[in-house]
Amino acid sequence: MDANVSGPIRVSFVLLPGSLILDWAGPAEALRIANQCLQASGQPAAFDLRFIGPQAQATSSVGACISGIEPLPDRVSEAPSAPHWVVLLGQPGDTVDVRSPGVPELLHWLRGLRLQAGLLELVTVCAGAILAAHAGLLDGHRATTHHHHLDELRQVAPRCDAVANRVFVLDGAVSSSAGVTTGIDLFLHRIAAVCGPALAARVAQTMVVALRRGPGDPELSPFLRHRAHLHPAIHRVQDAIGQQPQADWSLQRMAEVACTSPRHLARLFITHAGIAPLAYLRSIRLDLADAALRSGHSVTLAAELAGFSSDTQLRRTWHQLGKAGSPAHRGH
């Protein structure tokens, strides 16, 4: 992020007549809940949601009329005071008709954008990638779209590396998702990058959706594993551990967070999360230590940062949980 840029990230959802309502409503709710979680903990909101378009009102894909749409802003590319994400959405139909109401005006506006990672970024959901392609914004980028539109994307933007069979693709200033519900996956990933994976997990829990891994990640973030359940007490403990993994956690302290007995908490963890409470804590700490080692920290400092009592305890946990190699060689 540019050091001279401050304030919440402006997220502008571009609404056209017929825009698929779940393409924007799901991601917008994820951002709203993220702001709510931040403000509940005394932190400022991270996202400023806007709804913009070439027309002041538009009828959505399901017939609901959306009014109060802000006009497409002028000079959006000139020295933004805060990061800005422009979100393009899908349209009904097998192909995108660039002659549809509002589309020519939108394409003219899009062609004036000068994308820059960390400042002005493009996010597409479903066939929103086709609109971006018609505006020339995907040339030289990797991107994905709904599988029904992949051939259309390749035809409209031959200089775009169209990626099939992916939930979402990140490429510099361009983020794209395959369609409809995968927009939620993409925005959960972006929330994790901005606000941390623990908060993204809380958002997903609130929305009762599954968390998928990000592109290129070999496995799920440690904060997101063992959370495919709906038990509120277990989520409270996992949230608390995620916020302070280095704290002096004991089974008794976890039970106090869950408002239950240590023995009952252990049973609940096994039943709902598929892992014992202290084993869950060790897995979190081990992955934090692994990340610290990969960043170049010494074994001793990595153990301290992750909450292990010593580098010996880190080494022991490393081998007990089946990590390949050794901590001493992880950063090499």
Residues 272 and 258: their CA atoms lie apart, in Å, by: 14
What pLDDT is recorded for position 78?
A: 63
The vertex-244 CA angle with 243 and 248, nearest 5°, equals 155
The dihedral formed by the CA atoms of 160, 92, 89 and 96, expressed in degrees to the nearest 10: 40
Confidence at 182, pLDDT banded by 50, 70, 90: confident
> Considering only 24-33, 124-133, 238-247, 307-316, which range has the smallest mean pLDDT?
238-247
Confidence at 221, pLDDT banded by 50, 70, 90: low
What pLDDT is recorded for position 1?
A: 35
What pLDDT is recorded for position 210?
A: 61
Query: Does residue 196 surpass a pLDDT of 80?
Result: yes
Domains by residue range for the chain, with CATH: 9-198 (3.40.50.880), 225-332 (1.10.10.60)
What pLDDT is recorded for position 211?
A: 56
Q: Give the bridge partners for 176, in sequence order.
A: 124, 169
What pLDDT is recorded for position 80?
A: 63
- pLDDT, one tens digit per residue, over 266-296 is 999 999 999 999 999 999 999 888 888 877 8
Query: Does residue 16 surpass a pLDDT of 50?
Result: yes
- pLDDT, one tens digit per residue, over 36-67 is 999 999 999 999 999 999 999 999 889 999 99
The DSSP code sequence of 136-196 is TTTTT-EE---GGGHHHHHHH-TTSEEPPS-SEEEETTEEEESSTTHHHHHHHHHHHHHH-
Confidence at 2, pLDDT banded by 50, 70, 90: very low
What pLDDT is recorded for position 3?
A: 35
- pLDDT, one tens digit per residue, over 137-173 is 999 999 999 989 999 999 999 999 999 878 899 999 9
